[in-house]
Amino acid sequence: MREVYLSLGSNLGDREENLKRAVFELEHWEGIILKRLSPIYETKPVGYLNQDMFLNIAVEAETNIGPYDLLRVVNEIEKKLKRERLIRWGPRTIDIDILLYDYIELKDEVLTIPHPRMWERAFVLIPLSDINPFIKKGDVYIKDLIRDLPDKEGVKLYKENWYNEV
């Protein structure tokens, strides 16, 4: 089994329900075992600014599904939750990114791991550090990366202990 970290975000419709449904799908997917869920954070939109606040979480899981198949799985879950993609970085019912996959590094047209923009996104790193404060980028611990991020004030704790396993 490999250890993976995912980032989930929603800013359209019932945001908390969208996160719950996506986590439910992950939890019941064969080959995926959920290990830890972060609290929910409410976060200011980054990139395309003219949109509503997001709810974001990070998830730690174990899986025997390879990285490319895992991308297909998360895309399928996004589709199932009827994600609409109109604007790049724009509103979405659910967005699931693969942040880290074991110690793998890879980069091609379909998949880049570690996720290329994760290290400068407070909405990713703050929930991620809650579930694993020992994650590092090179020699630098995640807490130290967060300290230097300009947009960390836009990330506020929204709800802890929000998911009851089914």
Ligand X SMILES: Nc1ncnc2c1ncn2[C@@H]1O[C@H](COP(=O)(O)OP(=O)(O)OP(=O)(O)O)[C@@H](O)[C@H]1O
Beta carbon of residue 92, minimum distance to ligand X (angstroms, whole number): 7
Catalytic residue among 92, 108, 130, 147: 92
The token duo for 91 is 């509103």
149 close to 120: Cβ distance less than 8 angstroms: yes
95 is catalytic: yes
85 is catalytic: no
36 is catalytic: no
Among ligand X, ligand PH2, none, what binds residue 56 when CB lies within 5 to 8 Å by partner kind?
ligand PH2
Q: Decide: is 97 part of the binding site for ligand X (CB under 6 A).
A: yes
- Cβ count near 156 (within 10 Å): 11
Q: Hey, CA dihedral for 69, 13, 49, 148, is it positive or negative?
A: negative
Q: Nearest 5 degrees, angle CA 25-CA 28-CA 32?
A: 100
Among ligand X, ligand PH2, none, what binds residue 111 when CB lies within 5 to 8 Å by partner kind?
ligand X
Helix ranges restricted to H, the chain: 15-27, 67-80, 122-131, 142-147
92 is catalytic: yes
Q: Decide: is 112 part of the binding site for ligand X (CB under 6 A).
A: yes
Among ligand X, ligand PH2, none, what binds residue 113 when CB lies within 5 to 8 Å by partner kind?
ligand X
Beta carbon of residue 128, minimum distance to ligand PH2 (angstroms, whole number): 12
Distance CA 133, CA 119 (A): 14
Q: Which is nearer to ligand X, 114 or 166 (CB)?
A: 114
Task: List residues with catalytic annotation.
Answer: 83, 92, 95, 97
